[in-house]
Amino acid sequence: MPERLVRSQAVFSGRVIKVQVDEVALAGGRHSQREVVVHPGAVVMLAEDGEGRILFVSQYRHATGKTLLELPAGTLEPGEAPEAAAARELGEETGYEPGGLERLGGFYSAPGFCTEYLHAFLCTRLRPSQHRPDFDEEIAPVRLTLAEALARAHTGEIQDAKTLATLLLYQLRTAN
């Protein structure tokens, strides 16, 4: 490995993330520090409604100071399988659960400083769910065709990385 962990110090532990400062040994004996956000991982779902539309959510994101248009997504619970998290989160954010669930791929959200790995799924054959949004989420559903979503991505209206990456994975799947 090009870097070897020498020591790690936890500097923050919150409800969802932890932050640690790692001292690493580099090639040639030099040392450096890495600030790492430790995240349990997440899921993102591209859900097709059976009428040629994809379910999106419009949600205010405090960190950006903006309302963003995103695909439904959420954090893995301890010990939860990504497939179970995808079904649960889709229900909480859209009111639907998938009858069909297919893995599209996965990716790191920001590997320069964060451990978060997102599992991307295609959700089909949607049916009503009993799940409800978390108490602190105010989400408005938006349905778009793929062409409408890609146009919004092109104009910069969709700025969320997990949404852009999952749209790309979906396009690659349908191109084959």
* Residues annotated catalytic, as ranges: 137
Cα 95 from Cα 88, distance rounded (Å): 10
Question: What residues form DSSP beta bridges with 97?
Answer: 127
Name, in order, each residue with C-beta under 8 angstroms of 15's C-beta and a sequence gap of 6 or more. none
Using the CB atoms, write b or e for 128-144: b if 16+ within 10 Å: ebebeeeeeeebeebeb
* Of the candidates 121, 123, 87, the residue with the CA atom closest to the CA atom of residue 104: 121
Q: Which amino acid is at 48?
A: E
